Amino acid sequence: LLMAYDPARRLARLQVSLERAAVNARMIYEILDIQPRQADRADARPLAISDATITFRDVRFGYTDNDTILKDVSFTAEGGKTTALVGPSGAGKSTVISLIPRFYDPAAGEILIDGQDIAHVTKQSLRNAIAYVSQQPYLFEGTIRDNIRYGRPDATDAEIEEAARHAYAHDFILAQPLGYDTPVGENGVTLSGGQRQRLSIARALVRNAPILLLDEATSALDTESEQAVQRALDEAMSGRTVVVIAHRLSTVVRADKIIVMQAGQVVEEGTHAALATRENGLYARLNNLQAPTAGAAQTSQETGAGI
């Protein structure tokens, strides 16, 4: 879809009509500056952030009028803390994430950020507060610098470089033939999976947003890349409200709170220590199932049971 775009036109060409398609493709989801599709309510106000606490209150949602994918989902992702969403495939984790920037709106219930119903704030202010790192970072035609700048079109070169440093990307960028001006994408240099991820993290960091939505990668990277990506993520997560679709045991174990989803509902919540010992709990069962691979999960392997 995006391949057809003229590389020189960049952000300006990412038009409104692409928004929905892009979400479905989980491709340019991380480009949160796309012009929102629906107009704001007449009384919409800018979101006022204090600690960026996110609250789902009895949220019901379906992609069509006939399905109910989320059934009265309630949870709080505390400001500045990490909340991990876990559960089997199809449980609704990605759907929960996509409601936060309002790619979709709930059929019932509400989502609050610092007490403000996000349906009542301007989409621009909402999305400015959010950065997103996807499983499969998308690189556009253009230079490395352009690709980081997609995170915030008015970022200066110095801010881009700073974001790249924090994302542990600066050194490999300098090692490219033209440094930050090296073309990537279809006709550019080929970057490794770990390098692409670090560019995506730099793109998120340059937004300097208080909320980070993270869809953790499931594909294995080599150990060295893995460590660099993990350090970059730690940097990106620090001090932010993070909601992460967690695939690695190490992420789940370190999360301040785990939300266990199944079939569109929150079935358990708590810390790893509390949930792992709960008799007959879903999390405890999933956790036991994957115990033999726990060591591997610390590094790169997708965990066996959908966690």
Site for ligand ATP, rule CB under 6 A? 24, 63, 69, 87, 89-95
**Rounded to the nearest whole angstrom, what is the least distance from the CB of residue 117 to ligand ATP in the complex?**
22
Residue 249: other Cβ atoms inside 10 A: 23
Of 94 and 136, the one with the shorter C-beta distance to ligand ATP is 94
Of 93 and 257, the one with the shorter C-beta distance to ligand ATP is 93
- Tell me the pairing of strands 183-184 and 142-143: antiparallel
Of 63 and 223, the one with the shorter C-beta distance to ligand ATP is 63
Nearest to 167 by CA among 236, 104, 115, 88: 236
Of 36 and 92, the one with the shorter C-beta distance to ligand ATP is 92
**Rounded to the nearest whole angstrom, what is the least distance from the CB of residue 130 to ligand ATP in the complex?**
18
Of 208 and 293, the one with the shorter C-beta distance to ligand ATP is 293
Of 96 and 191, the one with the shorter C-beta distance to ligand ATP is 96
**Rounded to the nearest whole angstrom, what is the least distance from the CB of residue 5 to ligand ATP in the complex?**
22
**Rounded to the nearest whole angstrom, what is the least distance from the CB of residue 93 to ligand ATP in the complex?**
4
Of 205 and 282, the one with the shorter C-beta distance to ligand ATP is 282
**Rounded to the nearest whole angstrom, what is the least distance from the CB of residue 145 to ligand ATP in the complex?**
32
Of 87 and 210, the one with the shorter C-beta distance to ligand ATP is 87
**Rounded to the nearest whole angstrom, what is the least distance from the CB of residue 291 to ligand ATP in the complex?**
20
Chain centroid to CA 208:
14
**Rounded to the nearest whole angstrom, what is the least distance from the CB of residue 283 to ligand ATP in the complex?**
15
**Rounded to the nearest whole angstrom, what is the least distance from the CB of residue 57 to ligand ATP in the complex?**
19
End-to-end CA distance of the chain: 31
